């Protein structure tokens, strides 16, 4: 499991936490509150003084934990992509298609538990310095390459530009999952299955084989009805 950086120069690492984890160290509280404020108000509208006030500490003490507000934003986004890259590592067991399924499910599950990280990663990317933007883009490209590899192993065919565009589109959608499902009558277990089915459906055009029969009980195929004869 990928863990998070304790400070700009720290060597020790600790678990990548969910935003609603029980309060831990002062640094954990700083990061969690910063994440919440960045998501709620936007990175540019959150100042160090305001962050310190929410934590009931002096603003100068925040710099004991990180170099700058921008560097803190970078670390939060970096951790998300570290986690995505970790989840994309192949396992020895199972078929190539099951590896692709597991990767998709892992992405969906991470979004369910760490939605605020995805929100700031997509919305506040432009607030990073050029150097940090380049580092995050490199990590995203690595993740796209790993997803593409799983797709090819599962039997995807077609021109490489089409396959790459399919992967990028799927990842972009998964990073910005729609909120309209929150207003649906779906249960907590049904919601990720619907998302999972939509993603597999979007990939079906480049895959040689349909989804295995073992998954037919959990995925409802979407059909386009033609005119009645």
pLDDT in tens, 71-86: 999 999 999 999 999 9
Judge whether residue 229 has pLDDT over 80. no
If asked whether residues 114 and 157 sit together in one domain, one would say yes
- pLDDT of res. 209: 53
Same domain, 144 and 75: yes
In a domain, 78, yes or no: yes
Same domain for 206 and 114: yes
Range of the domain at 39: 3-67
Q: What is the pLDDT averaged over residues 21-49? A: 82
Domain end position, chosen among 12, 33, 67: 67
56 has pLDDT over 70: yes
Task: Give the long-range contacts of residues 21-28, CB within 8 A, separation 24 or more.
Answer: 26/55, 26/57, 26/65, 27/65
Check pLDDT > 50 for residue 216. Answer: no
Residue 217 banded pLDDT, cuts 50, 70, 90: very low
pLDDT band per the 50, 70, 90 thresholds, residue 16: low
**What's the mean pLDDT in 50-62?**
81
Between 84 and 180, name the one with better pLDDT.
84
Q: Tell me, what's the pLDDT at 17?
A: 57
- Report field, pTM of the whole predicted structure over 0.85: no
């Amino acid at each position: 499991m990928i863990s998070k950086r304790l400070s700009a120069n720290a060597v020790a690492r600790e678990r990548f936490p969910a935003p609603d984890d029980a309060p831990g160290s002062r640094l954990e509280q700083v990061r969690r509150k910063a994440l919440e404020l960045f998501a709620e108000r936007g990175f540019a509208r959150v100042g160090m003084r305001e962050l310190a006030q929410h934590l009931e500490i002096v603003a100068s003490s925040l710099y004991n934990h990180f170099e700058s507000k921008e560097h803190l934003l970078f670390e939060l986004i970096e951790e998300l992509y570290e986690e995505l890259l970790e989840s994309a590592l192949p396992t020895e067991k199972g078929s190539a298609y099951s590896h692709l399924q597991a990767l998709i499910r892992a992405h969906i599950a991470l979004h369910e538990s760490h939605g605020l990280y995805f929100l700031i990663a997509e919305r506040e990317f432009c607030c990073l310095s050029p150097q940090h933007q380049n580092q995050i883009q490199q990590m995203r490209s690595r993740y796209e390459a790993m997803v593409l590899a799983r797709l090819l192993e599962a039997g995807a065919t077609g021109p490489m530009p089409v396959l790459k565009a399919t992967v990028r589109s799927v990842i972009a959608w998964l990073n910005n999952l729609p909120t309209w499902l929150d207003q649906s009558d779906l249960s907590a277990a049904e919601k990720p299955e619907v998302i999972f089915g939509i993603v597999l459906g979007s990939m079906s055009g480049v895959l040689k084989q349909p989804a295995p029969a073992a998954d037919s009980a959990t995925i409802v195929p979407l059909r386009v009805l033609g005119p009645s004869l």
